[in-house]
Structure 1
Amino acid sequence: MDGYPFVLPYQVRISDINYGGHVANSAVLDFFQEARIAFLRQLGGFTELAIGDGCGLILPEAQLFYRAEMFHGDLLEIGVRLRESQRSAVVLEYRIERQGTLTAEGSTVLVAFDYGARKPRRLPAAFVERIRCLQAAAEEGSPFP
């Protein structure tokens, strides 16, 4: 998937289907989360609850654009890439394709969050370093580090 250094294969399950017989919008957000979890793990063994220095990530904003129907059994590819990183947040973009055809796309804002103190905080240095490596590799057209 061009421009997306990380791609997760996914097969649509029956639980992803709504009353209209196609993938529900809410399921697409679940697809984004599945890909994000795998992306974070590949990025450096991170999880949504542990990105270093005692903090995790919290998702205050998500955008979803449903471009084409998806059906039970469809084999999808879910691409993840970094759009930007800020002092305490990262923005990830997602693209879902079925056999090269765009079916959905969107983005999420992820804020560093100290779950113990219940407040946002700065992104940990090790996480920022891995994100910077990813940005540099993407700009050079290199594969996911």
Structure 2
Amino acid sequence: MARVKIDMPAAFAFSTSIPVRITDVNYGGHLGNDAIVSILHESRMQYLRSLGCSELEFFGTGLIMSDLAIVYKGEGFYGDTLTVEVTAGELSSVGFDLFYRLSTTRDGKILVIAEAKTGMVCFDYQARKVARLPEPFKQQTSNTTA
């Protein structure tokens, strides 16, 4: 069976801490996959806010997620505080990928819980069509990924 593989970047431009809530835990007693998607969304919003943007106001255009891949590496539990690292890469004329690494520290060891990637496409919500990647984002990203 083919497995999803994500080529993770060596460095991340942004990091945030997100606690695992009791509502994030599934019947298996660990962090559920639906909760991980929500945590990715929250960390993406915090990353964009650090750039002075949002998904609806992204340097003069909007953003829409075109795809999502998650590779699970370990279990997260209620009471864990996740460190979520985020960075942009693989820029194209109309979008880019965001890479995420979710980890926690338990018993003095850093444990990776999941790695993920979302494809983000620039989108003009008024015209309902794909838009060009804004030049200010390209410039800002080249300063953090070089």
TM-score, L = length of structure 2: 0.85
**Bigger proportion of residues as helix:** 1
Q: Shift of residue 64 of structure 1?
A: 0.6
Counterpart-to-counterpart distance in 1, 2:86 and 2:94: 19
Counterpart-to-counterpart distance in 1, 2:68 and 2:113: 17
Amino acid in structure 1 at the alignment position of 2:55: E
> Which residue of structure 1 lines up, in the alignment, with residue 134 of structure 2?
124
Match 2:94 to one of 88, 93, 99: 88
Describe how 1:27-106 pairs up with structure 2 within 5 A.
Answer: 27-43=35-51, 45-53=52-60, 55-99=61-105, 100-106=110-116
> Which residue of structure 2 lines up, in the alignment, with residue 141 of structure 1?
none
Unmatched segments (≥5 aa) in structure 2: 1-9
Amino acid in structure 2 at the alignment position of 1:108: T
Counterpart-to-counterpart distance in 2, 1:52 and 1:97: 30
Counterpart-to-counterpart distance in 1, 2:23 and 2:129: 34
Q: Shift of residue 83 of structure 1?
A: 2.5
Moved over 3 A (4+): none
Matched residues, percent identical?
37
Q: Secondary structure at the match of 2:112?
A: strand
> Which residue of structure 1 lines up, in the alignment, with residue 144 of structure 2?
134
Amino acid in structure 2 at the alignment position of 1:115: Y
After superposition, the CA RMSD in angstroms is 1.3
Q: Shift of residue 5 of structure 1?
A: 2.4
Q: Secondary structure at the match of 1:85?
A: coil
Match 1:5 to one of 10, 13, 17: 13
Counterpart-to-counterpart distance in 1, 2:34 and 2:143: 32
User: Structure 1 stretch 124-133 or stretch 95-104: which is displaced more?
Assistant: 124-133
Counterpart-to-counterpart distance in 2, 1:84 and 1:41: 20
Q: How many residues align?
A: 133
Amino acid in structure 2 at the alignment position of 1:104: A
Q: Secondary structure at the match of 1:105?
A: strand
For residues 9-52 of structure 1, the C-alpha deviation after alignment (integer angstroms, 9 at most, x for no partner) is: 11101121112111111111111111111111112x11011112
Counterpart-to-counterpart distance in 2, 1:114 and 1:3: 30
Q: Shift of residue 127 of structure 1?
A: 2.2
TM-score, L = length of structure 1: 0.86
Q: Shift of residue 95 of structure 1?
A: 0.4
